[in-house]
C-alpha cells in the first residue's frame, strides 16, 4: 500500500505534468471510484478546469483547481496514477479513470484491487471526506513537534497500532511504522502511554529521518508501486526489518521476528527494540 513517501513521490512526479494544464476529457470506467460524486456531474464539473497545484495531505493527493474546487485522490492498496503521451494504451480491466490534459498527455488511474477513490469537492465540502477530516498531524511539517507526538501516543494501544492510526499521525503505514520503531529502538508492543520522554524523542527523530530518506529514494516498491512515470522506488533496498523475518538484524545479528499486532504483521529485532518504553 502506498504510504506517505510513495504518495509524495507520485505527487512530485506529477507536478510538472499537471500544473497549469486544463482537463479536456474525463472518462470514468469504474463507477465505485467515486464514493461521493455522481459520474456525469463529476466529469462535467472537472472538464475545462485548470490544475493550479498538486498537494499532499497524509496519503491523499489534492489537485487544486482554478474554481476553488479540489480533486482529491486516495490510491488505497494498489492505485497507480500513470502518465502517458501519444503511446497511451487502450483502457484495460484495471483502468478506473482516464483524465486527458490539454498538453495531449493522459493520466490513467490503474487500480488492481479497485479500492482507490476520487472526490471532487469545494473547500467547505472537504470535511465530507471522513478520512481527510480526521487526519492527524503531518509528520514532515513544522507542526509535528515532540509535544505533538506526545499527545498522539497517549493511548493504551501498542505503539505500532498508534503509528498506523491516521487520526493520530498522517501518512505512516505498515512498512514505515516498522522501520521507524526499529530506528527508535522501541518494541512495537509497547503501549503508547508507556513510551518515556527519551524514547519519544528518538521516535520523533526516527519518523522524520526514515520518511525523509524514503521520499529521497522515491519510496519503496514492494509489489507494484511506481510513480507517475512508471519508475520504481529504491527504499526497499534499505529496509532494516520490514519483510526481513528470520534474517540477521543489521545492528546486532539477532534474527528479526514477526508478530501480529492489531491484525498487522510487525517486524522487529527482539534485542535492539526495548519493551520497557525507555
Ligand atoms: Zn538488533
5 Cα: distance to centroid of ligand 1 (angstroms):
25
End residue of a domain, out of 98, 133, 168: 133
23 Cα: distance to centroid of ligand 1 (angstroms):
51
Active centre residues (catalytic): 2-3, 59, 264
Q: Which string of b and e fits 232-269 if b means at least 16 CB within 10 Å? A: ebebbeebbbbbbeeeebeeeeeebbebebeeeebbbb
61 Cα: distance to centroid of ligand 1 (angstroms):
36
Whether residues 173 and 239 share a domain: the answer is yes
Q: Quick one: pLDDT at residue 264?
A: 95
Whether residues 116 and 12 share a domain: the answer is yes
Would the pLDDT of 222 be above 90?
Answer: no
Would the pLDDT of 82 be above 90?
Answer: yes
Whether residues 89 and 193 share a domain: the answer is no
Whether residues 165 and 216 share a domain: the answer is yes
Whether residues 71 and 119 share a domain: the answer is yes
Structural domain that includes position 213: 146-268
250 Cα: distance to centroid of ligand 1 (angstroms):
7
Whether residues 155 and 233 share a domain: the answer is yes
CA-CA distance, 202 to 186, in Å (whole number)?
A: 9
Q: Quick one: pLDDT at residue 205?
A: 98
The pLDDT-based confidence of 275 (bands split at 50, 70, 90) is: very high
268 Cα: distance to centroid of ligand 1 (angstroms):
8
Mean of all residue pLDDT scores within the chain:
96
Question: Is residue 47 situated within a structural domain?
Answer: yes
CATH number at residue 213: 1.10.8.50
241 Cα: distance to centroid of ligand 1 (angstroms):
9
Whether residues 162 and 264 share a domain: the answer is yes
End residue of a domain, out of 133, 164, 185: 133
Question: Is residue 140 situated within a structural domain?
Answer: no
User: How much is the pTM?
Assistant: 0.96
CA-CA distance, 26 to 149, in Å (whole number)?
A: 41
CATH number at residue 81: 3.20.190.10
Contact 50, 71 (CB under 8 A): no
Whether residues 162 and 73 share a domain: the answer is no
The pLDDT-based confidence of 87 (bands split at 50, 70, 90) is: confident
191 Cα: distance to centroid of ligand 1 (angstroms):
20
DSSP the chain: ---HHHHHHHHHHHHHHHTTPBEEEEEES-GGG-SSS-HHHHHHHHTT-BEEEEEEETTEEEEEETTSEEEEEE-TTTEEEEEESTTPPPP-TTEEEEEEETTS-EEEEEESS---EEEEEEGGGGGGSHHHHT----TTSTT--HHHHHHHT-SSSBHHHHHH-TTTSSS--HHHHHHHHHHHTB-TTSBGGG--HHHHHHHHHHHHHHHHHHHHTT---SSS---TTS---SGGGG-SSTT-TTSBPTTT-PBPEEEEETTEEEEE-TTTSBSS--
Q: Which residues contact 253 (CB under 8 A, 6 or more apart)?
A: none
| Closest residue by Cα to residue 266 from 207, 191, 188 | 188
CA-CA distance, 137 to 4, in Å (whole number)?
A: 12
Question: Is residue 176 situated within a structural domain?
Answer: yes
| Closest residue by Cα to residue 17 from 73, 70, 84, 89 | 84
End residue of a domain, out of 101, 133, 165: 133
183 Cα: distance to centroid of ligand 1 (angstroms):
10
Question: Is residue 141 situated within a structural domain?
Answer: no
Q: Quick one: pLDDT at residue 86?
A: 85
pLDDT in tens, 230-267: 999 999 999 999 999 999 999 999 999 999 999 999 99
CA atoms within 13 A on the CB side of 183: 23
pLDDT in tens, 34-65: 999 999 999 999 999 999 999 999 999 999 99
163 Cα: distance to centroid of ligand 1 (angstroms):
21
Backbone angles phi, psi at 241, to 5 degrees: -130, -35
Question: Is residue 277 situated within a structural domain?
Answer: no
> C-alpha grid cell for residue 17?
505534468
Whether residues 72 and 191 share a domain: the answer is no
Q: Quick one: pLDDT at residue 223?
A: 81
pLDDT in tens, 206-219: 999 999 999 999 99
Question: Is residue 121 situated within a structural domain?
Answer: yes
Contact 2, 215 (CB under 8 A): no
Question: Is residue 278 situated within a structural domain?
Answer: no
Indicate the number of domains in the chain: 2
Amino acid at each position: 500500500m502506498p504510504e506517505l513517501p510513495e504518495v509524495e513521490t507520485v505527487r512530485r512526479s506529477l507536478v510538472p505534468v499537471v500544473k497549469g494544464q486544463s482537463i479536456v476529457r474525463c472518462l470514468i470506467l469504474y463507477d465505485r471510484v467515486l464514493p461521493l460524486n455522481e459520474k456525469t456531474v463529476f466529469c462535467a464539473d472537472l472538464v475545462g478546469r485548470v490544475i493550479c497545484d498538486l498537494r499532499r495531505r497524509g496519503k491523499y493527493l489534492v489537485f487544486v483547481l482554478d474554481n476553488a474546487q479540489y480533486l482529491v485522490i486516495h490510491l488505497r492498496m494498489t492505485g497507480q496514477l500513470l502518465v502517458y503521451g501519444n503511446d497511451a494504451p487502450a483502457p484495460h480491466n484495471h483502468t478506473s479513470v482516464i483524465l486527458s490534459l490539454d498538453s495531449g498527455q493522459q493520466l490513467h488511474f490503474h487500480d488492481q484491487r479497485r479500492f482507490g477513490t476520487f472526490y471532487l469537492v469545494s473547500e467547505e465540502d472537504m470535511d465530507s471526506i471522513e478520512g481527510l477530516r480526521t487526519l492527524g498531524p503531518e509528520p514532515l511539517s513544522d507542526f509535528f513537534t515532540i509535544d505533538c507526538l506526545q499527545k498522539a501516543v497517549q493511548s493504551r494501544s501498542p505503539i505500532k497500532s498508534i503509528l498506523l492510526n491516521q487520526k493520530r499521525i498522517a501518512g505512516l503505514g505498515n512498512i514505515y511504522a516498522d522501520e521507524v520503531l526499529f530506528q527508535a529502538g522501541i518494541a512495537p508492543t509497547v503501549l503508547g502511554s508507556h513510551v518515556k520522554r527519551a524514547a519519544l524523542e528518538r521516535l520523533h527523530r526516527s519518523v522524520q529521518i526514515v520518511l525523509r530518506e524514503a521520499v529521497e529514494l522515491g519510496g519503496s516498491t514492494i509489489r507494484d508501486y511506481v510513480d507517475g512515470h512508471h519508475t520504481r522506488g529504491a527504499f526497499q533496498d534499505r529496509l532494516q526489518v520490514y519483510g526481513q523475518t528470520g534474517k540477521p538484524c543489521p545492528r546486532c545479528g539477532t534474527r528479526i521476528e514477526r508478530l501480529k499486532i492489531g491484525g498487522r504483521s510487525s517486524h522487529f529485532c527482539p534485542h535492539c527494540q526495548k519493551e520497557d518504553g525507555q
